[in-house]
Amino acid sequence: MAHTPAVRTDAQRHHDPEVRGFASDNYAGAHPEILAALALANGGHQTAYGGDEYTEHLQQVIRRHFGARAQAFPVFNGTGANVVALQSVTDRWGAVIAADTAHIHVDECGAPERVGGLKLLTVPTEDGKLTPELIDREAYGWDDEHRAMPQVVSIAQNTELGTLYTPDEIRAICEHAHERGMVVHLDGARIANAAAALDVPMRAFTNVVGVDILSLGGTKNGALFGEAVVVLNPDAVRAMKHLRKLSMQLASKMRFVSVQLEALLAGDLWLRNARHANAMAARLAEGVRAVDGVEILHPVQANAVFARLPHDVSERLQKRYRFYFWDEAAGDVRWMCSFDTTEDDVDGFLAALRQEIAK
177 exposure class (CB count in 10 Å sphere: 0-12, 13-18, 19+): buried
- Neighbour-count burial for 204-234, b at 16+ CB within 10 Å, e otherwise: bbbbbbbbbbbbbbbbbbbbbebbbbbbbbe
- pLDDT tier for residue 262 given thresholds of 50, 70 and 90: very high
- pLDDT tier for residue 2 given thresholds of 50, 70 and 90: low
Note whether 243 and 142 are same-domain residues. yes
Query: How far is residue 264's CA from residue 124's CA, in Å, rounded to a whole number?
Result: 34
Note whether 190 and 60 are same-domain residues. yes
User: Would residue 342 count as lying in a domain?
Assistant: yes
CATH number of the domain at 349, please: 3.90.1150.10
What would the pLDDT profile of 71-112 be if each residue is shown by its tens digit?
999 999 999 999 999 999 999 999 999 999 999 999 999 999
> Does the pLDDT value for residue 9 go beyond 90?
no
CATH number of the domain at 45, please: 3.40.640.10
User: Would residue 14 count as lying in a domain?
Assistant: no
The mean pLDDT of the chain is 96
User: Would residue 11 count as lying in a domain?
Assistant: no
Higher pLDDT, 17 or 273: 273
DSSP label at residue 158: S
Note whether 111 and 229 are same-domain residues. yes
Domain boundary among 265, 292, 316: 265
User: Would residue 2 count as lying in a domain?
Assistant: no
- pLDDT tier for residue 350 given thresholds of 50, 70 and 90: very high
- pLDDT tier for residue 8 given thresholds of 50, 70 and 90: confident
Domain boundary among 241, 265, 289: 265
> Does the pLDDT value for residue 5 go beyond 90?
no
User: Would residue 296 count as lying in a domain?
Assistant: yes
- Neighbour-count burial for 239-273, b at 16+ CB within 10 Å, e otherwise: ebeebbeebebbbeebbbbbbbbbbbbbeebbbbb
How many domains, the chain? Answer: 2
Note whether 237 and 301 are same-domain residues. no
> Looking at residue 300, what is its pLDDT?
97
DSSP label at residue 118: P
Note whether 288 and 171 are same-domain residues. no
Task: Please give the average per-residue pLDDT across 206-232, as a whole number.
Answer: 98
> Looking at residue 7, what is its pLDDT?
75
User: Would residue 3 count as lying in a domain?
Assistant: no
Note whether 194 and 293 are same-domain residues. no
Least confident of 14-18, 299-303, 318-322: 14-18
Count H helices and E strands in the chain, helices first.
Answer: 13, 11
The candidate with the shortest Cα–Cα distance to 58, out of 82, 44, 75, 43, is 75
Note whether 275 and 257 are same-domain residues. no
Note whether 309 and 205 are same-domain residues. no
Note whether 238 and 280 are same-domain residues. no
Task: Please give the average per-residue pLDDT across 52-56, as a whole number.
Answer: 98
157 and 137 Cβ atoms separated by less than 8 Å: no
Domain boundary among 204, 237, 265: 265
Note whether 100 and 179 are same-domain residues. yes
User: Would residue 337 count as lying in a domain?
Assistant: yes
> Looking at residue 336, what is its pLDDT?
98
Task: Please give the average per-residue pLDDT across 197-204, as a whole number.
Answer: 98
Note whether 66 and 136 are same-domain residues. yes
Q: What is the CA radius of gyration of the chain?
A: 21
What would the pLDDT profile of 132-179 be if each residue is shown by its tens digit?
999 999 999 999 999 999 999 999 999 999 999 999 999 999 999 999
Whole-model pTM: value is 0.96
Range of the domain at 84: 32-265
Note whether 204 and 333 are same-domain residues. no
User: Would residue 161 count as lying in a domain?
Assistant: yes
